[in-house]
Chains A and B, each alone.
Chain A
Amino acid sequence: MLFGFGGLICSIGQIILNICKERGFDTATSGTIVSILLIGISAFLTGLNLFNKIGKFAGAGSLIPITGFANSIVSPAMEYKSEGYVMGVGGKMFTVAGPVLVFGISASILVGIIYLIFNTQNVTLV
């Protein structure tokens, strides 16, 4: 079941990617469009109380694709609405997803620095 869902979500992503490429977008922009659309759809499904029903039997199939990331942002935002729109929704949005951004971005910075160290001859330093 989770195999099917994970596969399905990514296949939808692939179809969107193919359509973008056909329309002339380059790979990077196409990838961004796929992310934005899948995130938007997941946010919408979470807001309609539907995503958690899917997650119950899809498990990792809905968690691991970028849909899980979006759901983990919208769900605490919805939950803490009662604590206000600034500190509640705004402040609590990243309680579950925050670590993903912290570690992902930090890892990318480290990757960049390590790449620089091993490739100083190819790169303009500053």
Chain B
Amino acid sequence: MDINWATVFDWTILLKCFVTAGIICVIGQILIDKTKLTPARILVIFVTTGAILGGLGVYQYLVDFAGAGATVPLTGFGYNLAKGAIEAVQQMGLVGAFVGGVKAAAGGIAAAVFFGYLAALISKPKMKKQ
């Protein structure tokens, strides 16, 4: 494998990624602790915020700075959806608004459905040990 491992493990990029991700998660934790919002609602807020910030072009700066630190959190999923919608609109107009988001997230959604079903098949829910 002709992979340049120095580039893969570039500590400056990883550090920016690590810190950005941590900050985004801390915001989430504050919402969990200080409000009565359920996990589902918090995930919705994050994904919608990511979509809006992505649509405004603002989230792009964060992605350029932190890479996966901005794309892996659920805000990044929203950003991905919005970016996909905009790109598709540029190519095909109005239809693109409908096509683009799902197309960009297709891999993730398909993986979630498929692996979700598989994992459920092979598993057995157990009592919380806490």
By a beta-carbon cutoff of 8 Å, the part of chain A in contact with chain B is 2-11, 13-19, 22-23, 28, 31-36, 38-40, 43-44, 46-49, 52-53, 56, 59-61, 63-66, 68-70, 72-75, 77-79, 81, 85, 89-90, 93, 96-97, 99-101, 103-105, 107-109, 111-116, 119, 122-126
Contact = CB atoms under 8 A, between A and B. Distances in A.
6 contacts: A15-B9, A36-B111, A63-B25, A63-B32, A93-B120, A104-B77
Interface residues of B, number: 91
Closest 9 CB pairs of A and B: A112-B97, A108-B101, A6-B25, A10-B21, A112-B85, A47-B119, A111-B55, A60-B28, A77-B120
Nearest to B49: A107
Contact of B98 (A10, A59, A68, A109): A109
Contact of A126 (B14, B67, B93, B121): B93
A60 B32 contact: yes
